[in-house]
Each structure stands twice: as C-alpha cells, then as structure tokens.
Amino acid sequence: MTFIRQFETFPERRPKSSEDCLSDSQAFLYPETGYAMIRKHIVIVGFDDITSLDLSGPLEAFNSAFLSDSKEGPQPCYKVTIAAIGAKTFRSVSGLRMTASCSLGSLRHVDTLIVPGGRGMRTSSSATRLAKWISSRAGSIPRIATVCTGIYGVAPTGLLNGRRVTTHWKYAADLAARFPTLKVDADALYIRDDKFHTSARVTAGIDLSLALIEEDFGPQVALRVARELVVYMKRPGGQDQFSEPLKFQVDSTSRFTDLAVWIMSHLGRNLSVNVLAERVNLCPRQFSRRFRSEFKDSPAAFVQRLRLDEARKRLSSSGCSVESVANSLGFNDPDGFRRAFVQHYGVAPHHYRSRFRAASRS
C-alpha cells in the first residue's frame, strides 16, 4: 500500500516508536486532485539564545496551511515538530521559555528541516552540534532551510559551498568572512539553491515558509495562509505589508495572480485600464472583462479602493498634508480625493487625520 502526494510515493505507515518525534500520519483525500495526501513533516530546530520570531513565524505559517478533505473537511497540510539540539526546554534571546517535543537525535523522518537564527547559533556550540547532525542525515532530508543566522548551523557542513545564500544584512559580511566559499547576497529576502533555502530575519522567514507551502501545495494554499497571517505572499521589497490585495489574489489563478501586488507598489502611477491591460498583455476591452470576472469588481473601483486604504494609513501615521497624500497616490484632483474619501469612510480626510493626531497627543 502506498500513499501518494505531490507525485511522490511514501511507504506504508510504520509502527510508531516512543522515541520518534514523528507521530502517525493520517492520509486524506484531496478532492481537487483526487490524490490521497499525507502530511509533510516540518522540523524546526530549538536551542538556547534563539530568536523567538524566527521559530514562531514559520511555525504559525505551516500550522495555518489546510486542504479540504472530501469527507472530514479542512485537514492540516503539515505536522510541525520543534526538536531541540540540547535540553528540551530552551530560552530565547528575549527570555521566552519554550519546550521542544523531542530531541533532534530522536528524529526518524524529516521532510523539511528549518534552522532559526539567534545568538546561540553564532556564538555557542549549538552550530557545531547541529552541523554534525545535518552532515550525518543530509542525504535523507529533502529540504533544508535557514532563517537569518540559522545558516551558521548549516554552513560548517560544506553543503552550501559555492551556493548563493542570504542572511540578515547585519551579519552578511561576517558570514562571508567565516565561510568564504559561500556566495552571500545581503539584499535578498530568501534564496533557493537546489534543496537549500536561506532567508533574512524574522518576517523573511514567513516569506520563505510561504514559498515552501506554495512549492508543496500550490499558490492557492499559500495565498490563504498569507491572508490569514495578514502578509503578502510575494511582497515587493521595502514596502509595508497590507492584507487588502490578498483576497483578490486568493481568487485568482491566472495571469492576474501578481497584478494586485504590482498595483499596490505603484499606487502613485498612472493605473488606467490601458496601462493595466498592457501589463498583462491583453487589449483593454478583454482586460476589463477578464478583470471583473477574476476580481468581481471593475479595475477603476479596485484601484481606487487600494489608494483610499493607503491614504487612510498615511493620514493616520504621517505629518503630510491632505493634498500631498492625495497627489502621492495618483489623485490629481484634491476635491475628487476628498469626495471619494468621504464616500468610502464617511468622514473628510482632514477630520480623519485630526482625530489621530488628537489621539496621539492624549
């Protein structure tokens, strides 16, 4: 008997050992593919002086991924295990105490190994111990990923030699100096090179997790997770994170999938139907029809809603005038901006801004 998922074959379930972190995996039928799925096992490494968000970000992302079973409803895509290098109870850099499910050495099966960052991975024996364990198991682990300085626990194995990698910009020079055979890119959010995935700090670990979820179960599942976590699935570099475009991405599997993200990062530009149609290589008439079918709204209404949402945020958090905010977001007519703002939020933009300034002073 075999369980099939993502075109891979897994042997029949073996008896559970008391020392094995991997619990019995339950297969479920995913109606959209007709395949019997079995959950992937994600192992996140725990150690003293870890950066807690480097662990909790991927943990929440993978635990938010579900598929629909034809009989039992939503089923988790992953089993996530925290496995400790040393003592099962460990403390983060910020003092948060966490307890692992088991020790790293007790693991029998791992689909993806994730190594969070933290001071303990750069300055203690944790990196040496982890590297030794990875070296002995690397051939049986399909994917190895690092968040921030978690790469210090993988680099000593030599498995990353000659590969493109990234880490937090603050440690990029040190990483390159310690391991000169690595091709360190300090600007990337995350990089994949064969089965090795590396990422920058904290939120980039969520970006990496979403990419892995998409690789395993497709863009629809990853987009639903992104919206649940209120982040972009594919965020434009240096941009603040907003969830508004995600509900439109979730419903789209065509060439429009990335259009909402592109619009969000170019709100000050000309976003006419002609411009957007050219972006996706369609004629304006066909684009408008397809856009409404995909997003259940007209292009003009969609763009205006995103602009007003961004205007609201800027008015509440900056000292810019109403006119400058309007102009920066493509509203060439200040009066037209005010009317649209009142219609959408029920209050004039200058009154909206005044309320936030009064609240901040109090």
> Do 167 and 39 have their domain in common?
yes
Domain finish residue from 213, 231, 259? 213
> Do 247 and 191 have their domain in common?
no
Whether 218 is covered by a domain: the verdict is no
**From CA 261, how far away is CA 198, in angstroms rounded?**
23
Of the candidates 116, 90, 101, which has an alpha carbon nearest to the alpha carbon of residue 41?
Answer: 101
Read off the tokens for 323: 């006119």
pTM across the whole model: 0.62
Task: List for the chain the helix, strand, coil content (%; round to 5).
Answer: 45, 20, 35
- pLDDT above 60 for 244: no
Whether 330 is covered by a domain: the verdict is yes
Whether 141 is covered by a domain: the verdict is yes
Q: What is the pLDDT of residue 360?
A: 46
Domain finish residue from 213, 230, 259? 213
> Do 318 and 203 have their domain in common?
no
CATH code of 90's domain: 3.40.50.880
The count of structural domains within the chain is: 2
Whether 238 is covered by a domain: the verdict is no
> Do 88 and 204 have their domain in common?
yes
pLDDT, mean over the chain: 82
Write the CA distances from 149 to 67, 114, 121, 155, 190, integer angstroms: 32, 12, 7, 10, 13
pLDDT band at residue 280 using 50, 70 and 90 as cut-offs: confident
- pLDDT above 80 for 2: no
> What b/e readout covers 196-213, taking b as 16+ CB neighbours within 10 angstroms?
bbbbbbbbbbbbbbbbbb
Whether 84 is covered by a domain: the verdict is yes
CATH code of 343's domain: 1.10.10.60
DSSP symbols for 64-96: T-EEEETTTEEEESEEEEEEESS-SEEEBTTS-
Q: What is the pLDDT of residue 163?
A: 96
> Do 303 and 199 have their domain in common?
no
**From CA 81, how far away is CA 103, in angstroms rounded?**
10
Helix (H, G, I), strand (E, B) or coil at 101: coil
> Do 139 and 27 have their domain in common?
yes
β-strand partners of 36: 29
β-strand partners of 89: 99
> Do 277 and 188 have their domain in common?
no
- pLDDT above 80 for 285: yes
Domain that includes residue 8, residue range:
3-213
Q: What is the pLDDT of residue 36?
A: 56
**From CA 300, how far away is CA 263, in angstroms rounded?**
12
Whether 226 is covered by a domain: the verdict is no
Q: What is the pLDDT of residue 210?
A: 92
Whether 236 is covered by a domain: the verdict is no
β-strand partners of 197: 145, 192
Q: Which whole number is the average pLDDT over 130-144? A: 96
**From CA 284, how far away is CA 243, in angstroms rounded?**
27
Beta strands 112-115 and 143-147, pairing class:
parallel
> Do 191 and 322 have their domain in common?
no
**From CA 303, how far away is CA 331, in angstroms rounded?**
11
Domain finish residue from 194, 213, 232? 213
> Do 336 and 277 have their domain in common?
yes
β-strand partners of 165: 184
Q: What is the pLDDT of residue 79?
A: 94
- pLDDT above 70 for 20: no
> Do 159 and 44 have their domain in common?
yes
Helix (H, G, I), strand (E, B) or coil at 315: helix
DSSP conformation class of 296: S
The full 3-state SS of 141-188, as one line of letters, equals CCEEEEEHHHHHHCHHHCCCCCCEECCCHHHHHHHHHHCCCCEECCCC
- pLDDT above 90 for 348: no
Q: Which residue did the predictor score with more confidence, 75 or 116?
A: 116
> Do 206 and 255 have their domain in common?
no
Q: Which whole number is the average pLDDT over 115-123? A: 96
Q: Using one digit for the tens of pLDDT, what is the confidence trace for 320-341?
A: 788 988 999 999 888 999 999 9
> Do 63 and 199 have their domain in common?
yes
Whether 166 is covered by a domain: the verdict is yes
